[in-house]
Structure 1
């Protein structure tokens, strides 16, 4: 198919920051054919989102087009009148944004929001629009669409909100769907469900898809072609399988090399006293108080028992709402358990004992979002050094030396001590958060989704850093994550949770190679594995597809 026949043709697109003249997208050219799924991958700042949004004329006001052409269905988009461009959006080009909670109006009922686009672009009676909406909501998996129409966005989970956002776009049957990181904030199972749904709906209507993501594995599964962007330029593009099997550009190989790989397994003495043990832990959340009554509460943890040996990394995995974060917060003392007990070095921990203070000092936590967990009014040096206030006998000079030492260990250096969190990138902020957790040399660290918000290459750097620090200082770790690819790389043992209960646990190799519980198998089926390919490339495998385990390559660490 020629460029003239393409649904979308972008030629030599160059975008600049107005006034400064800084080029953020430089000479980008690509096509999208009818019914084709094209993925655009790259790190944050690579220009992939700006290039895709320019197709709809949705670039920020500070960005201007310096050169290039964008043709959709044979018409030049860049010269369209605003009225014509508004008619194009939604009706012919739809967009699914990264975070549906910010793209759905929180003050409007979902029924009103879903009806809005149909009323604007389709000449249908209200009853006909309602019938179409209800049918689409059923197709995207909402069990009670009538109730959904009378609900607000905040009353649904992230996965359900993304399904509703997809339904609102596909109601108009656009010719092109732009999906901007549509599953970044979702756990692996929901992520796969949403993508399968999106692909199914678009195939049915022969809708082309421009899928933007930094997750090369997910793009590889669902796309026909892949475009790789770096620093505002396309460095490589081609058929998905060909590009994965034989990447030509060093940056593409760098992205592939950053995908999680299983390392060698480690063994631990069976007779060692666990550094942390949890027995029959129960956490209840009370219901909201009404005028004359209190709503029924929710039990978040149902008698959880686990233990973490010295120097061991135990991963807790599960979907959103499985209770894994509540478990970590309860162990860290941030949530008061309803029942059960926590032991540290073999001794029960109660808030009334002096041992509890020692436990809290030796139990540190790395949170999912470092930007919200680091005080924006304090410098990085002040934030990292704050836990040292409680170290007896350590003078000011020794504390400053320890801060410099730990900043160096996490790859920041002394120059970052005087900066504020907003002056650091996401990866640098996470390094600072790790430094803050380790500055006291704790025996036990809880890492709650520490890399879920990071680019694939930054994620690889943080995981390598974390593993190096854990090997050097020998702390035990409870690693909470919904990303089984990451867990496969870092964990010694794996605990699988669902609805506040442990459904399966064992060594990493036992869980990944011979899962027993159906829920574990479903989790694993949503995560890609890697296999060697000629020319330094990889081939993606999908575990347990068709309920048959995919063959694992014998040497995963040599896959790239």
Structure 2
């Protein structure tokens, strides 16, 4: 983004900030300093554990109890945060500074209606009466794109999609018109189209009030599109900061170049014979979910999948993409036998799988494994790594010694040593947990692996490592894969074929290069146009490029020319 604002005194001035664990523990933020001016969007990027979220939360005084400030200062409007009383800090949070968290469902109170939650900030930080607060709330809900604001006031958080909840959070935070908005990974869990809509809304709302934004993110394409300046953090230190365009085009620090080099990019993929018989095939697949009903009546059913026909050939990676609610995860769960279909046929290796018994069913279940989005919730916290992986070999006929040998072998395949076998999930990083989940899926040498958003919760460099690992295992063991994702860059790197879903239907499918370079369906084009791509430059940086540039905003086309 161009047009960085540099005039005037800084709204936020962080100088030599150091945060540590307790009074004597290690430093997790080490002498960090940066400034944010009114109307400016500043992005903070780095791997998990780099200290970016702690540094941003320190601005609001919201660091965990175990974290102590060891030095430095944080000034808002020229006044030091440490000089403020608890009452002044409460007035600052939500009034002068607002925050949007990564997961809106955990930020919104499930036991309060939306109206009551939106009114709270106005009651605390403005002098509006009840009628004035209601009018302001209705106007803001209309502004953020919610079609029936009167109904929204009486609704509960669980009644809305992720994108709608994030719009409500933005409305809540922006109602008091804060001077600074801290946004911590505000769109990580959203699909491409909703992500763009939420970010465009955030930029528009903050521009209307000249609100500055401090945005924490690991999505470098989003940073390139929306921020004026970028701060790169590594192991608690700032290694580089400056104008976004300058940093991304010609990074000076090796760590910044490492981050940019880890971005997913299109690579050659092994060819799959077009005439090979399918390994797995579904025909006319339908799934219905029950609607809401009353005490004595059943609600109308909602159809989630409408007559899906799909075939996956041996050794083929088929990516399924689409917006939230498109049915892609439901399709994966049906193929993994975690969701019962309403109709249609499932055929494995030429044999119909007609019921949940018999040799065809047994063969299919042994040869179909799944990798889930969040490995922490899919691993039993009471089981060691060896137990969790070895559990997949139950019924294999192997004795205890053979199972342990296989476990250690597969740990080595996923890049972990023997010492990890005795650890528990909470002792591992996010990337290590996902390696364990992949090891558990491939230990039986399945012929089909279903991966549901397996890297969406990982930062840039860890994501690159997991994708390389997954591609290596797929080539080595030859399993077919149904890869479900909303990250189009990841799909472009891995897939042989792409299936695009919208509202429970397949709207387009074809070879990866054809789908990305010449999409035929308007919805596919909309998905591809939602998020820009980053092309490498000779200087080790990247250049922002919009797919199908006729739709790119004029200022971005000029900036990237």
Q: Same fold (TM over 0.5)?
A: yes
Residue 261 (structure 1) aligns with: 265
**CA–CA separation in structure 2 for the residues paired with 1:285 and 1:167:** 31
Does residue 518 in structure 1 map to residue 522 in structure 2?
yes
1:355 to 357, 360, 363: 360
- Summarize deviations over 1:52-86 as a string: whole Å, max 9, x none: 11111111221121111111111112211111111
Residue 391 (structure 1) aligns with: 396
Residue 559 (structure 2) aligns with: none
Does residue 423 in structure 1 map to residue 423 in structure 2?
no
Does residue 381 in structure 1 map to residue 390 in structure 2?
no
Residue 557 (structure 2) aligns with: none
Residue 341 (structure 2) aligns with: 337
Residue 373 (structure 2) aligns with: 368
Aligned with 2:491: secondary structure? helix
Mapped contact 2:178–2:211 kept (Cα < 8 A): yes
1:488 to 464, 479, 492: 492
Q: Which moved more, 1:235-244 or 1:280-289?
A: 280-289
**CA–CA separation in structure 2 for the residues paired with 1:381 and 1:534:** 45
1:283 to 280, 283, 287: 287
Mapped contact 2:23–2:70 kept (Cα < 8 A): no
1:458 to 459, 462, 468: 462
Consecutive unaligned residues in structure 1, runs of 5 or more: 551-560
Does residue 433 in structure 1 map to residue 417 in structure 2?
no
**CA–CA separation in structure 2 for the residues paired with 1:99 and 1:246:** 33
Mapped contact 2:221–2:534 kept (Cα < 8 A): no
**CA–CA separation in structure 1 for the residues paired with 2:346 and 2:327:** 17
Q: Give the TM-score normalised by structure 1.
A: 0.95
Consecutive unaligned residues in structure 2, runs of 5 or more: 555-561
2:241 to 223, 237, 240: 237
Does residue 227 in structure 1 map to residue 236 in structure 2?
no
**CA–CA separation in structure 1 for the residues paired with 2:37 and 2:411:** 49
**CA–CA separation in structure 2 for the residues paired with 1:219 and 1:527:** 11
**CA–CA separation in structure 2 for the residues paired with 1:157 and 1:431:** 30
Mapped contact 1:376–1:422 kept (Cα < 8 A): yes
2:299 to 276, 292, 295: 295
**CA–CA separation in structure 2 for the residues paired with 1:482 and 1:31:** 34
Does residue 313 in structure 1 map to residue 351 in structure 2?
no
TM-fit CA distance, 1:531: 2.2
Does residue 108 in structure 1 map to residue 112 in structure 2?
yes
How many correspondences in the alignment? 549
TM-fit CA distance, 1:268: 2.1
How is 1:128-167 mapped onto 2 (pairs within 5 angstroms)? 128-167=132-171
Q: Which moved more, 1:26-35 or 1:68-77?
A: 68-77
Aligned with 1:315: secondary structure? strand
Residue 558 (structure 1) aligns with: none
Mapped contact 1:317–1:480 kept (Cα < 8 A): yes
Residue 554 (structure 1) aligns with: none
Aligned with 2:423: secondary structure? coil
Q: Which moved more, 1:121-130 or 1:280-289?
A: 280-289
Mapped contact 1:543–1:549 kept (Cα < 8 A): no
Does residue 404 in structure 1 map to residue 443 in structure 2?
no
